[in-house]
Amino acid sequence: MAIHPIEYRYGSKEMKKIFEEENKLQKMLEVEAALAEALAAYGIIPKDAAETISKKANIREVKIERVKEIEKEIKHDVMSVVKALSEICGDAGKYVHLGATSYDIVDTANMLMIKEAVEILLKDLMEIKDILKEIAKKTIDLVCIGRTHGQHALPITYGFKFANWIDEIDRHIERIKTIKDKRLVGKMSGAVGTYAGFGKLGEDIERYVMKKLGLKAARISTQVISRDIYAEIILNLALIASSFYKFAKEIRNLQRTEIFEVSEPFGERQVGSSTMPHKMNPINCEKICSLARVIKSYTIVALDNVSLEHERDLTNSANERIIIPECFILLDEILKTFKNVIRDLKFYPKNIEKNLYMLKGINLSEAIMIELTKRGMNRQEAHELLRNLALKAMRENKNFLEILVKDKTIRKYFSEEELSNLLEPKSYIGLAREKVMKILEET
């Protein structure tokens, strides 16, 4: 019976398959096979022995049930793999794992799994960016109210809002590429990282193994790869999750009943509440925010793992069995959920327009202030004047233009027509369109 929601609720089959027990075992066997091949290439073990080990080093031959059976007896996970592989290799079995330590196998196998996982994340990020670029093009001239501190600020466009998201996602794509190019490192350096078990050929053997597996060799390691590398990977996943937390929260806020400018898709037969039939809750965006919190919390664990004792201790081992697969699987769920949300994101132009004009012009006070300064008034005096007039308009619930045209100081500088033009929000979006176009061209 399934217990963890990852087993039945979160993550794609593709991502979860990477971190299944069988694939982890397969990756460990691939490392053992690569080691045997390297040892044979440098004349340390017979070539036919390496061929036998390589032939047998797969989960069709090495059964996971047998590995668990051995582990139950000897209480050592990697040695259980070694024994299970050795016993089916005949005389060649005596050469399995020669010169290696457990984490030569575990760390290198971990990186093989992470290598597969980051490709899925990269693909999803690229697809999301492309979808957002199409939406940004369509909404490049859709003017809406910008908000700061939860208050109406100056007008922006929806295209401008999405261009900011695109730029952020583009940075995450670069971070994933950095992981691929620089952080996917394995090791084959022995018990404390000195290659003592391999002698003078240690680095050559390590390079051979990593080339065979498609990884880079760590520049130096102890019994383990330094955990700052793992922490960096987890931190990058948390950064990505945090951005999508932000994007999803923005959609949730814009879907509020009193705002309702956009909403996530809501199926014809979808139920929003068990008791309130009218509800259309943003459950997908809420799920994104919820799962992102889990990923962010695991950064503390990953950072604590950096400070292992001496050449290593085992305090990272148990938690890495949890945080590595969970961070990738949950982020996979976040990205795929967000992709589905934005593919069918709903816009409500009437509400966008209503909210844009809600404050009856007072949110364009900056435009009047700047023009006053251009026409000769002290900037600070203009600010104070507009502040008082804006507050007056709010207190009296009047159109800002009505308040402005009655002010003697203002009328010295502007005609009513000029004030009306300055208070048009769709004319006060600065370089929003140009910035969107630039982001679309550069990403």
Contact status, residue 240 vs residue 315, Cβ threshold 8 Å = no
Which residue in 211, 213, 206, 207 sits closest to 189, CA to CA? 206
For the residues of 159-208, what is the DSSP string, one character each? HHHHHHHHHHHHHHHHHHHHIIIII-EE----SSSS-TTTGGGHHHHHHH
Active site residue 273: yes
HSE, side-chain direction, 13 A CA sphere, residue 348: 17
Active site residue 172: no
CA distances from 369 to 135, 276, 416, 422, 431 (A): 34, 47, 15, 10, 19
Neighbouring CB atoms inside 10 A of 282's CB total 23
Between CA 140 and CA 12 the distance in angstroms is 33
Q: Which of 273, 297, 307, 427 is catalytic?
A: 273
Between CA 27 and CA 209 the distance in angstroms is 13
Neighbouring CB atoms inside 10 A of 276's CB total 9
Between CA 440 and CA 164 the distance in angstroms is 11
Could you give the residue numbers annotated as active site? 149, 273
